[in-house]
Structure 1
């Protein structure tokens, strides 16, 4: 059995007259099997409980490269040190009760999702829906190749790079879940680098003209979509939390929206003062959805909140001609424009319900329970006045917020 330092060039060009196995001098146990037909495959030879065993890594390809085979050997070596037996586990896997992708997703949803927050569960379900549509749900999960996962994610990345990253994380979790149950032998969705899909903070803030064009298109949408978008621009709250707004959480007398901690990303009860502009929308919707639990009731599912506004977002983007319009940009625009009219960072942070306040240390944040209720109300009222100025073109005097001592 020839032994030499395997190189990528050697592996790709080597030819033999009879079936030959080459052992890698640099990675103990790694071997390359070459047949006269040109077929090449990597294997790993190791000892387990005094016996010599052999594990088939895979055929040489664009996916199973020499570097990938060496990485696989290192993973198996560590696994064996911990008492694992790759060949024996693969045998058990071959005898396992195989699952289709759809069946694996069903069990993953049933056993993993209940551990997540309700809002996170909903996001997972939406992205799992993408997976069911983008990959063959009736194919055995063991039969998927890594390149299929990459091709699917690349397709998603074309229109939704951040969503592609989130879906990749779910797929990695799914394959780990499946590996633990011997439905697959490895996590083929792990450590996939999506070029240019790295989640990064956008800096898109809309101009006065863009805000007017967007508002104009908001008003052409059917209810409750129209009012959802308007409320997002008036209050600057998160889309998911706004869509779940309940009538029981609205105090018209105090002009206050109390978001229960179960519905907030930050996990705390959030108090949002309501300027007159927001109250007008609520009063308009009351005859339509007042008998429902939710302010923005779903038009297709009675007594449920509206869930999907992405299609409306695409329509608005196209008709308003506001390039790259995204729902979350409304929240960023509100935050930036409020800062421009001298809203103190601590107050702005409280309005946005960030877990880390606008200024001061994290330790200060733990003890700072003051909610800036009046300052928040003043700031949102000032933003409502500024928004009216933008929409109507009429100037209005805005007074600075008095900072609390």
Structure 2
């Protein structure tokens, strides 16, 4: 979004039109809506801005249920925004620590600031990008109009006057050039730099949102590191300092599934259980549990152990489920060779197959295509290594 599009959008006519439009989902919907609005005499800039916002609002409903229809977005801002289900936990941490006024540095479109304000906290939202800050101001306007102590500024985090601020929420921008899914994210990948944030935390309590792939070996002593998984996706790592960090906790895994919330905490990485032979059940720990290195605690909860060294699948013979892992009942092991596996799956009438893999170099989508599945039955297939050999495990989902 550029300044011209922002100016076109932030007018009474554009905002009224935005609220009146039906959802625009398909390419045909877009073409029809654009043609109708242009025929009604609206300018190209206004039509582009309004139709773009309608589409973004539809996508935003998953992150901002109940709020998206009255918010404004940029595509990048929506992608980077924290889910409301997660930002509520961030806000609760500040409130429980007794902090009354929070500076949200790198506020983006204001997702976390919304949660802070909703809990009655005073908020100073700051973003370096003027357009993003303008959208945050709009999104936070109900709290600003109600005299809720909410202020929005455009500026650099490092230059923000923190007088009267009790705690800082920091969401550093992450540089994406050269990144891959497997590459560790280091302190040099953020702006502002993390060494500035660590120095800031010596003066004021700080909560800081980082990539879940952040190099955990660079986390300073004295911080609580909390990895968060939402509906199967590990979305972020949060570092907490000062009064925001819980006493005796340096590692935690927060798991959110729908309306269910569960958390594991520990003073340090926990010891893994010994490897076990494949049993009647396989358990897949949530990503937050794996990244926080608390798999051993989950294994003990499930009376299970890893299928192999360095493989984060657990196995056992006790039928137990946990919010910290997905559980499956083992049917049988099958040949891992593609042609033999294809034959075995056809014999069993399996046409719908969820493929999971660890410790093997396989693209699940491409591999599924090669299997040329036929049938009306469904199953889960684990591709992994057990005892140094590639192994295929056919299973049914329990949780």
- TM-score, normalised relative to structure 2: 0.21
Between Structure 1 and Structure 2, which shows a larger proportion of helix residues? Answer: 1
- TM-score, normalised relative to structure 1: 0.20
Q: State which structure, 1 or 2, has the greater radius of gyration over its C-alpha atoms.
A: 1
